Amino acid sequence: MNLLNRETIQHIIDNSLNKDLFRGQFGLEKENVRVDHEGKLALTPHPKAFGSKTENPYIQTDFSESQIEMITPSFDSIEETYRFMEALQDIVSLELDGEYLWPSSNPPILPDEEEIPIAKMNDPVADEYRHELADKYGRKRQLLSGIHYNFSFDERFLRRLHETLGQGEAFKDFKDAIYFKIARNLLRYRWLLIYLTGASPVFDKTYINKCVSLGHSDDNKSYYFPNMNSLRNSVCGYRNEKPFYVSFDSTHDYVQDLNTLVQQGELLNAKEFYSPVRLKTAKGLNPVQELVEDGVAYLELRLIDLNPLHKIGISKDTMYFIHLFILFMLLKEDEPFGTEDQKMADLNHDQVITGGIEGILHDSRGALGSMKEMALACIREMQEMVRLLNPDGEDLIQILDGEMQKILHPELGFAYKIKSDIQKSTYMKYHLAKAKAYAEESEKSGYRFVGYEDLELSTQLLLKAAVKRGITFKLIDRDENFVLLTKGDHKEYVKQATKTSLDSYSTVLIMENKIVTKEVLKERGIRVPNGDAFRSQEEAFAAYEAYRDKAIVIKPKSTNFGLGITIFNRAFSKEDYQKAFEMAFKHDQTVLLEEFITGKEYRFLVMGDEIVGVLHRVPANVVGDGIHTIEQLVHEKNKNPLRGRGYKTPLEKIQLGETETMFLKNHNHLWSEIPSLGQVVYLRENSNISTGGDSLDFTDEIPESYKTLAIESAKAAGATFCGVDMMIDDITSEASDTNYSIIEINFNPAIHIHCYPYKGKNRKADEKILDLLFGEVED
């Protein structure tokens, strides 16, 4: 069989368009029904955290209040699209309190029809439309969920194709013709897609009560139709009440047929034409008119089931396969697709759902031969297409090999696997177990934004929080963690999560400069380490008498990895004092002398008028259990998913390096030693998180008086976002005039440490930033 148009392929090669052919814009939309811990449809409202159902572009509700719809923006690659959908699922999952995302296209255990909550949209038109649909199709049917796969070619590719292949027609017409050709072919060959992606073979009897039981002994609720791989795509799924045949020959004919159907009252509006493939416009407000004016912007494939075998309901391989299938539809020979052909395509569709791939393919000309043979031919031709056009396509060929296996061996298909797994369990238990496992995966990814792991953790968290409430973002300078957040007309430029428009430039400059910081704090009556700034050794030496009996620190104004710092804990000689200054002056023109401050250091995260979190860090350590060695305890502690390497996680793994070994030895410990139950063994002098230190949340333990001081410190500098580092003698006493000292105010405080501390609650600093920038999420 020779399905490909060799001439077009040669043209693409001759014009070096093959690389651009494989470019495109990809987007996914999917629905998941929320369920409770028993797998029953959740009757709770759409979580408030997702903001407005109509304005959040990422997370919405579909027909039902319990049906969450997740929408990715369009991306240049499948990888990005896939990851963004995964991130969306992580974001949504984390917000579901005791609920889960049902991983199947078929609904969970349903209540009576009228108890299924229709989404409340606060918009009379939208609300009425949903009630009309409920009346027409039934609420249960509306709960069938699936994936929409959106695709458009790279604009440059289309333009250059138009330049070289067009025959004088306008670019819009040329482009529309291409998309309509693909749509026709997709509709014609969709039986193959359904065969390869169908993943909704089994259902609960609360959905349909008149089908065949799966026959498991103690399960009278898991049902199926024999051989059916996709209930959702079947006659029991979501379809127009009767088939409509609309011309796909051109934009003009398509629009005309649709308008006629609406005028005749067959359809409520053009949107109700539930074609498995839709030709979409850019704006999407008035699709029919926009199609005429602006043409097709992208294709929407609507027949993809949620695949419970994969976390987000679709695998990357399936996404690549669908992309190749679309390209194949472009490069295939064109065939007429009149009403009769459409009827036959519907027949093939239904046939593959109920009878698998063993039947005979038909079109208006009659029987075309074995479906299986045609399926295999298609895959082979797709492989040929890849070989001809994509020299780097080895991975794609392998993906196609996998699909070929599914044709040769039906037991490798998704639906088959799912059905046989359910046979060992129940419909409910199987899907609920999957739902919980995926929720746990999301939980573990809580601190990061899948697909954006190159950004700082603080920025990842901020962007996730933004997406959650429907604030869109654009990475303006990715290397710099510089983003534009937009909500309606409100734009905010944010760098590194906390550098925002809410802080003034002078505030930042104050915080950046130690001398100035101390000055503004002192002026407010806030305690800072006493001291002096010296600009010459002579000046510094002259001050010896004034400080000789005090505990002091001598340090260059700009400390750089602690170089040039000397601490005198007790009385010191003039010689040592002078030496310390000589050393410090090697690092800066100005040297600070400060009283040495005792106590423990706490980081107060100030946002607006609030202390969002208080953190104390302790050096890397393990706590004995009387059973394991220190080394074993370290390995155990390092299993915490919050611990990683290279600052990609909120905490770092404890090393078993030279420094730790030396430290243990100096403190008379050995790696092989077994500490007693509750015994704390430290492995480091320094408390940095980067060397395995623990971050301990003290937000609820710190007396209010210290929090007030931290807020006042921020106010003194005029700061909205800052980290106030305070030394406190003893947090069990209230702050007095002498028992604390502010040692620094940081203008770019990390927020992830307060969201994912080693011990303590997530203080939602990411949310707070957005509250301050955009106002709190409204009801």
Determine the interface stretch with a copy of itself among 432-440, 477-485, 658-666, 762-770 (rule: CB under 8 A). Answer: 477-485
**Could you give the 3-state DSSP secondary structure of residue 34?**
strand
- Does 502 participate in binding a copy of itself (rule CB under 8 A)? yes
Residue 285 φ/ψ, nearest 5 degrees: -85, -45
Determine the interface stretch with a copy of itself among 239-247, 371-379, 472-480, 681-689 (rule: CB under 8 A). Answer: 472-480
- Does 211 participate in binding a copy of itself (rule CB under 8 A)? no
- Does 522 participate in binding a copy of itself (rule CB under 8 A)? no
**For residues 387 and 510, what is the distance between their CA atoms, to the nearest angstrom?**
62
Closer of 75 and 427 to a copy of itself (Cβ): 75
Determine the interface stretch with a copy of itself among 35-43, 410-418, 504-512, 758-766 (rule: CB under 8 A). Answer: 504-512
**For residues 263 and 293, what is the distance between their CA atoms, to the nearest angstrom?**
20
Closer of 227 and 486 to a copy of itself (Cβ): 486
Q: How many CB atoms lie within 10 A of CB 203?
A: 26
- Does 477 participate in binding a copy of itself (rule CB under 8 A)? yes
Residue 72: which of 163, 165, 174, 148 has the closest Cα?
A: 148
Determine the interface stretch with a copy of itself among 34-42, 475-483, 685-693, 701-709 (rule: CB under 8 A). Answer: 475-483
User: 71-108: buried (b, 16+ CB within 10 Å) or exposed (e) per residue?
Assistant: bbbbbeebebbbbbbbbbbbbbbbbbeebbbbbbbbbb
- Does 561 participate in binding a copy of itself (rule CB under 8 A)? no
**Could you give the 3-state DSSP secondary structure of residue 32?**
strand
Sign of CA dihedral 672, 673, 677, 682: negative
Q: What letter represents residue 318's amino acid?
A: T
- Does 506 participate in binding a copy of itself (rule CB under 8 A)? yes
Which residues, other chains included, contact 16 with Cβ-Cβ below 8 Å and sequence gap of 6+?
Answer: none
Closer of 99 and 503 to a copy of itself (Cβ): 503
Min separation Cβ 440 and a copy of itself, Å: 35
- Does 495 participate in binding a copy of itself (rule CB under 8 A)? yes
Query: With contacts defined by CB under 8 A, how many residues of the chain interact with a copy of itself?
Result: 34
- Does 536 participate in binding a copy of itself (rule CB under 8 A)? no
Closer of 95 and 519 to a copy of itself (Cβ): 519
Closer of 104 and 496 to a copy of itself (Cβ): 496
Determine the interface stretch with a copy of itself among 94-102, 275-283, 374-382, 505-513 (rule: CB under 8 A). Answer: 505-513
- Does 154 participate in binding a copy of itself (rule CB under 8 A)? no
> Of residues 494, 552, 654, 689, which one binds a copy of itself by CB under 8 A?
494
Min separation Cβ 516 and a copy of itself, Å: 5
Q: What letter represents residue 320's amino acid?
A: Y
- Does 501 participate in binding a copy of itself (rule CB under 8 A)? yes
Site for a copy of itself in 8-27 (CB under 8 A): 19
| Interaction mask 704-733, a copy of itself, x per CB under 8 A | --------------x---------------
Which residues, other chains included, contact 674 with Cβ-Cβ below 8 Å and sequence gap of 6+?
Answer: 624, 626, 627, 628, 629, 630
Determine the interface stretch with a copy of itself among 102-110, 199-207, 213-221, 506-514 (rule: CB under 8 A). Answer: 506-514
**For residues 654 and 650, what is the distance between their CA atoms, to the nearest angstrom?**
13
Closer of 112 and 538 to a copy of itself (Cβ): 538
Helix H or strand E segment including 312: none
Closer of 731 and 773 to a copy of itself (Cβ): 773
- Does 206 participate in binding a copy of itself (rule CB under 8 A)? no
Q: What letter represents residue 708's amino acid?
A: T
Residue 119: which of 97, 96, 95, 142 has the closest Cα?
A: 142
| Interaction mask 538-557, a copy of itself, x per CB under 8 A | ----x---------------
What is the 8-class DSSP label of residue 426?
-
Determine the interface stretch with a copy of itself among 486-494, 568-576, 644-652, 688-696 (rule: CB under 8 A). Answer: 486-494
- Does 399 participate in binding a copy of itself (rule CB under 8 A)? no
- The first and second tokens of residue 79, run together, are 């990888």
**For residues 182 and 188, what is the distance between their CA atoms, to the nearest angstrom?**
10
Min separation Cβ 559 and a copy of itself, Å: 15
User: 476-501: buried (b, 16+ CB within 10 Å) or exposed (e) per residue?
Assistant: eeeeebbbebbbeeeebebebbbbbe
Which residues, other chains included, contact 755 with Cβ-Cβ below 8 Å and sequence gap of 6+?
Answer: 447, 461, 650, 762, 763, 764, 765, 766
Min separation Cβ 509 and a copy of itself, Å: 5
Site for a copy of itself in 564-593 (CB under 8 A): 589-590
Which residues, other chains included, contact 690 with Cβ-Cβ below 8 Å and sequence gap of 6+?
Answer: 647, 652
**For residues 717 and 516, what is the distance between their CA atoms, to the nearest angstrom?**
9
Site for a copy of itself in 182-201 (CB under 8 A): none
Q: Which residues bind a copy of itself (CB under 8 A)?
A: 19, 476-477, 479-480, 482, 484, 492-495, 499-510, 513, 515-516, 519-520, 535, 542, 589-590, 718, 747
